[in-house]
Amino acid sequence: MSQVSLLIRGSLTSVIYYKALDLDLTSVDDSSTMTLMSVDVERICRMSQGVHQLWANPVELGLAVWLLERQLGVSCIVPVVLALGILHKPL
């Protein structure tokens, strides 16, 4: 996964850099462009990890419940209900 992240980070950096080269020289400061470029790339990489968690967490939960059901039987519902109760606890 780190190789894919490195490839995405490198391609995003080069795309943003080439877009920054097209800007008017009087309206852009070089240091702010580099700072914004690194911050934007970092945010996009973190967001892509969050997107993967959206589909991976339900799969992981389903697999865990299935493994619990194989070991405990019907009583596997109790930990799931407790986890959901803690998850929906009001602040």
More confident call, 58 vs 89: 58
Q: Write the CA distances from 8 to 15, 28, 37, 54, 67, integer angstroms.
A: 11, 25, 13, 19, 35
Query: Does the reported pTM lie above 0.85?
Result: no
Mean pLDDT on 82-88: 80
Question: How many Å apart are CA 44 and CA 84, to the nearest integer?
Answer: 30
pLDDT in tens, 21-80: 777 766 666 666 677 777 877 888 788 777 878 888 889 888 988 998 898 888 888 888
More confident call, 67 vs 16: 67
Structure tokens, 44: 């996009």
pLDDT of the residue at 27: 64
